[in-house]
């Protein structure tokens, strides 16, 4: 988080703190007023006690709002710490839970591209964008800005990091970029919407190597796993012909599992660890289970 990214993050933090302070003051005033009314009703005639349940419900909701505001202040403090570190030249990637927070919507959309990323998906994408046409990149960038009903937090964060690299390349070419606006939020989380997205991901995977495939954050875990598996099989002394055959089988198996609602989760573990997969719990399409492709 440097330069423009730091300024955006700091601006978002300051604006949010001011808004939250104003909301807290208003909520405190409303809570005091309701407490005064409850005390007045308790001391008043019996006919006024009918108002007590309603006021107690309102008071309970105000208390819940205060708890959410307190959580918001805690998150703001985390963001402020990272922003201060970045401004001091000690920048580091934000944790996914922080980077995905509503406070950083503007930063998520406009964050600067990482020049020397350590994340395999980002490093791979930096190479891919150099070989792609401007029209192809523009189309992929629009897709990277589109929210998905099946993406978990870490994938959503990756999606905007990939988009930053795409946007950076298009800017360098002098291309016209899509209008800048805060990232969209998925409103349709129905099973039908998720099934449609799963079918889309499965079709993209089965179509084989493409720019759109490498630019799709939800398939980054599968691509990483394919590459790690290929490297392991070759390191074990298998012939390139055998490895190619095994990789073809693995590609087909992953495609079948994607169509069934399973996705290869992104890994931070050592390179040769088997991937985690999950389906039903995230996609509401069945019972969750863990599996790894058996290709040997």
Q: What is the pLDDT of residue 226?
A: 95
* Whole-number pLDDT of residue 107: 76
Query: Token pair 């930053």 is at which residue?
Result: 164
The confidence score (pLDDT) of residue 255 equals 94
List 277's β-bridge partners, or say none.
264
Residue 94: predicted pLDDT: 72
The answer to whether the beta carbons of residues 103 and 76 sit under 8 Å apart is yes
d(CA 140, CA 166): 8
Exposure string for 158-169, b = 16+ CB within 10 A, e = fewer: bbbbbbbbbbeb
Please identify which residue in the block is written with the tokens 């970045």. Answer: 86
So what's the pLDDT on residue 288?
31
Quote the pLDDT of residue 293.
44
Buried-exposed string 95-123: b where 16+ CB fall within 10 A, e elsewhere: eeebbbbebbbbbbbbbbbbeebebbbbe
Give the pLDDT score at 289. 30
User: In this predicted structure, what is the pLDDT of residue 276?
Assistant: 44
Question: What does the pLDDT read at residue 141?
Answer: 94
Cα 5 to chain centroid distance, Å, stands at 17
Residues of the chain scoring pLDDT < 70: 1-28, 30-31, 34-35, 37-56, 58-59, 61-93, 103, 180-187, 268-296
Q: How, if at all, do strands 263-264 and 277-278 pair?
A: antiparallel
| The predicted structure's pLDDT at residue 116 | 86
Give pTM, 2 decimals: 0.67
């Amino acid at each position: 988080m440097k330069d423009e990214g730091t300024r955006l993050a700091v601006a978002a933090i300051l604006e949010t703190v001011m808004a939250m302070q104003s909301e807290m003051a208003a909520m405190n005033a409303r809570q005091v007023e309701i407490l005064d009314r409850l005390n007045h009703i308790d001391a008043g005639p019996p006919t006024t006690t009918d108002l007590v349940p309603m006021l107690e419900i309102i008071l309970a909701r105000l208390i819940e709002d205060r708890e959410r505001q307190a959580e918001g202040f805690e998150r703001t403090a985390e963001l402020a710490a990272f922003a201060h570190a970045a401004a001091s030249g000690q920048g580091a990637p934000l944790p996914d839970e922080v980077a995905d927070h509503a406070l950083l919507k503007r930063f998520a959309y406009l964050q600067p591209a990482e020049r020397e990323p350590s994340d395999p998906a980002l490093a791979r994408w930096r190479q891919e964008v150099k070989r792609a046409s401007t029209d192809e990149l523009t189309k992929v960038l629009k897709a990277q800005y589109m929210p998905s009903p099946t993406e978990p937090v870490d994938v959503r964060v990756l999606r905007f990091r990939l988009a930053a690299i795409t946007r950076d390349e298009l800017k360098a070419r002098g291309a016209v970029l899509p209008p800048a606006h805060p990232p969209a939020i998925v409103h349709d989380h129905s099973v039908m919407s998720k099934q449609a997205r799963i079918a889309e991901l499965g079709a993209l995977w089965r179509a084989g190597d493409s720019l759109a495939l490498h630019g799709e954050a939800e398939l980054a875990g599968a691509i990483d796993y394919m590459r790690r598996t290929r490297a392991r099989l070759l390191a074990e002394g298998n012939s390139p012909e055998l490895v190619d055959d095994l990789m073809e089988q693995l590609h087909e198996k992953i495609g079948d599992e994607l169509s069934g609602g399973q996705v290869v989760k992104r890994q931070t573990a050592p390179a040769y660890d088997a991937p985690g997969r999950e389906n039903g719990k995230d996609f509401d399409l069945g019972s969750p289970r863990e599996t790894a492709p058996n290709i040997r």
